[in-house]
Amino acid sequence: MTYAESIGIPIEESEASKPPRRKRPPARLTEYLICSTPGGRVEPEELMTFKHIQKRTYFEIIDKFICEMNARFSNKTDMSGGLQAADPSSKFFMNTAEIVKFCNLFPRLNIDTVSIESQIKVAKNMFRSAKASSVNKCYDILLKMNPCFPDLLKFYTIIQCIPTSSASCERSFSSLKRIKSRTRTSTGQTRISDLTLLSVSGT
């Protein structure tokens, strides 16, 4: 009973307070995973339904997996473009734009992208005259002339450090599993790291 009714003031039904309209997400978004707030609200009882759990868990995992696959295996990325620009057998060999994009991925190395353009022009003719047929051959040539091509040598050093597969990482995890046994749970981090390095490298 409201205060108006308690003192004898009649209230028409149209003027009576009605429950607020429940906000719902747009119907066109019901089948999609929504990461931001669309203005609607999901009721607590709907959070436990299988359909909602499927959208919040399975779809989110699938979306992230697809984005990661597209980023890693797309036909044109800054990383793949740099790898092609370093290969003498590629049609993009010594492509200035691709090398500059690749170098911008490693800002900590302070590669001068302006001076590297002039270094590329000179090194491209030098590689052709030396008949460099592999990345290793190009790296050896630049290593002998380090003062002349400092930025381009950094570029090829990065290329040489990129692994071709994850076998070395998997091998280190297998070695760590053998080394970090139950009887060595109190071994320090430095000793474990040294033992793993000896096991993987064999020296």
User: Are residues 91 and 52 part of one domain?
Assistant: no
Q: Which residue has the tokens 């170098």?
A: 103
Per-residue pLDDT at 17: 55
Asked, for residue 62, whether it belongs to a domain, the answer is yes
For residues 125 and 140, membership in a common domain is answered with yes
Does residue 155 share a domain with residue 109?
A: yes
**What is the number of structural domains in the chain?**
2
Q: How many Å apart are CA 103 and CA 151, to the nearest integer? A: 9
Positions in the chain whose pLDDT score sits under 70? 1-4, 10-26, 29-53, 55-56, 71-77, 202-203
Q: 144 and 102 share a domain?
A: yes
68, 77 contact by CB (below 8 A): no
Cα angle: 99, vertex 105, 111; to 5 degrees: 65
Cβ neighbours of 61 (radius 10 Å): 10
For residues 160, 130, 76 and 101, what is the CA-based torsion angle, rounded to 10 degrees? 70
Same structural domain, 92 and 133: yes
pLDDT of residue 188: 85
pLDDT of residue 63: 80
- Asked, for residue 53, whether it belongs to a domain, the answer is yes
What crossing angle do the helices spanning 96-103 and 150-161 adopt, rounded to 10°? 70
Residue 199, pLDDT score: 82
| pLDDT score recorded for residue 181 | 82
The pLDDT tens digits for 88-130 are 998 889 999 999 999 998 888 889 988 999 999 999 999 989 8
pTM above 0.75, yes or no: no
* Residue 38, token pair as written in the block: 């669309």
Both tokens of 105, joined, read: 């991925």
**Residues ≥6 apart with Cβ < 8 Å to 41:** 22, 23, 24, 25
Phi, psi of 135 (to 5 degrees): -65, -40
Answer yes or no: do 68 and 91 share one domain. Answer: no
Q: Are residues 86 and 119 in the same domain?
A: yes
125: domain range?
Answer: 78-161
